[in-house]
Structure 1
Amino acid sequence: MEAIRTALTVGVGTGGAFALWMAARRQRSTEVQLHESARAADAAELDSRERRLTDLYVQAVEQIGSDKAAVRLGGLYALERLAWDDVDRRAVVINVLCSYLRMPYLVPEQLKNGRYRLPAASDLRQHEEWQVRITVQHLLGNLLRDQPYDLDLRGATLIEFDLRECAIGKALFHDAQFISTPKFMGATFHDEVWVFDTSFDTVARLEGATFLDRAIFTRCAFYKLCLQDAAFAGGASFIQSKFAGKADMSQVTFKSGIEFEDCVLDMDRYAAEGMRERGWESPEIDLTGAVADVSSLGTPVTLPSGWQLQGSSIVRAATLEPKPSSA
């Protein structure tokens, strides 16, 4: 009887253990199935989201190519929404916006030579395209608020371009035309800035801008340049550039090479158009209070005529203290 009782106890225990093992296996199997179902659902959701975003991108690009301004505006705002919803596509959206601004644009007479006025309503196509381009620039500025992205605006026509307080990666402005006042106050350029053969129609405002890499302005036409309190961590070059008004570079900090070779101070165009009567100052490069901490780097320093480097300060040549006589 004892043997039978012991055998029954062992059997019951073994059966209970087996039942527990089976329950554990069923639980594990259920968990695996739930995990796989969740993975499949996530994959399906991701695929659906990617399809939706891709369709939105394709439709937006098609709308931008429309000959109707209202349709183009709708496509532009759809692209902005896509850029905010999908950070990975933001660079692509920014490239599309830059490509639109690089498209050929016949500048109306109202926008030439600083005579900035909205195209007349009678010229409907010009009026509509002006509105579309202003919108493109506005959206571009919005997308550059939190992190830097590259800008390729070579050959672009930019009207009242506004990138104040923006973060910009590599910037290319070759052969660009800035109509009315471009605003870069407080902007930070995280990569190189290349500006060749570029025209600034009126005042170029870059007060407080920060250039963390090289800033190359070659053969540019500045009619008035505001660069006060800017900082150049890389080289700053203004080779063969023309200044038709005052270039205010007071309190600027240079921490690498400085080049002002073959710069031209010329106000002939503005004199012909009576700009002196409008209060424009004579051509001048003002480096009052500017600092150039480049002596330890051994990089070239070529300053405008009338300015010299004294220690780390840029001062007018006439204010340099005479060296003590050796006698």
Structure 2
Amino acid sequence: MKILIIKLRNIGDTLLITPLFENLKSHFGESTAIDVLVNEGTEGILPAQLIRKIYTLKRLDKKLQKLKGEIELLRAIRQEKYAMALSLTSGERSAFMSFISGAKMRIGFTPKTFWAKPIYTHNLKEKHQHTIENNLEALRVLNIPIITKKVQAAKAQESLNFAIPTNFIHLHLFSRWMFKALSDDFCAKIIDFITQTYAIECLLTCSNQQELEKLQSILNLSQNKPKFLNNLSLAEVSLLNSKALAFVGVDTAIMHLSAANNTPTFAFFGPSGAIHWGPWDNDLFTSTYTQKNGIQRMGKHLVYQESFPCVPCGRDGCEGSKKSDCLLTKLNEELALRTLKDFLDPLLLPLRGEKP
């Protein structure tokens, strides 16, 4: 039994397809070959032990190289003779890849283009529910029992080139979409608040030059100078995060990775909705993100979001500015830090022999 799963989105989206793997193997048998097709640069988040093969779609600038690469990719997929293709991305490209696979059973979210609509043998529609649940619709339409909703991330071996502190809080204050970012000044306040309130080390990660420059600006505003690590692989960040007492960050792939590691996760949300994107607690089977906005929990994880009527808007910043006022000028910093304290107290005060 060969199954191809297609998810052509970002790193966090790719991670949230992983609950399908164990459900498929449970239903069809452990020998089931599960292959995935994802965008290049997202594959490092996937747990290799559950996957036979990973194809990556390269977004090349040079047209000839792009054409050659995609022809080779299509040929490789076609040669596998898949029995089933699950396309978890709405769009014509994913539908076409599903068709090219030659699979007799093709399940996917119905594309808008008229020529692509007949491609799937089983059509899906996105519902107002968590992204994990929408991905699992591919199994429900086939009457495949869902026995787990556990998210699993890649993790590096215990061989990082730096000493991981015994007790620390992991902070990743960036997203590839800067309209999900907090102000540099408030990020500095978060660092100082954690360091001074709990006398514990903060360890920050960032992943590219833009984030590094923003991090330098944050550190210039901070009274404390925590350690930071740049350009770790996703598996290395995962290992680091798995040893943290808690994670604090924004709506980003590393937030989802933290939740997958069962690390208590505190996330600031702006334009995105927690109902769809909140950090998933692997110890639960049903999402508890039911409000449009505001402060919400799912098990050990917490989302902080302002309760403005326009939140979440799903847009790339206010009026297309690439900046979100609900995370910047209109963020209730006092309430946010008080909520963060309520989240961290039960985790950190016992380390000092204090009661929460």
TM above 0.5, yes or no, is no
TM-score (norm 1): 0.24
State the TM-score, normalizing by the size of structure 2. Answer: 0.22
Higher relative contact order (CA 8 A, sep 6+): 2
Larger radius of gyration: 1
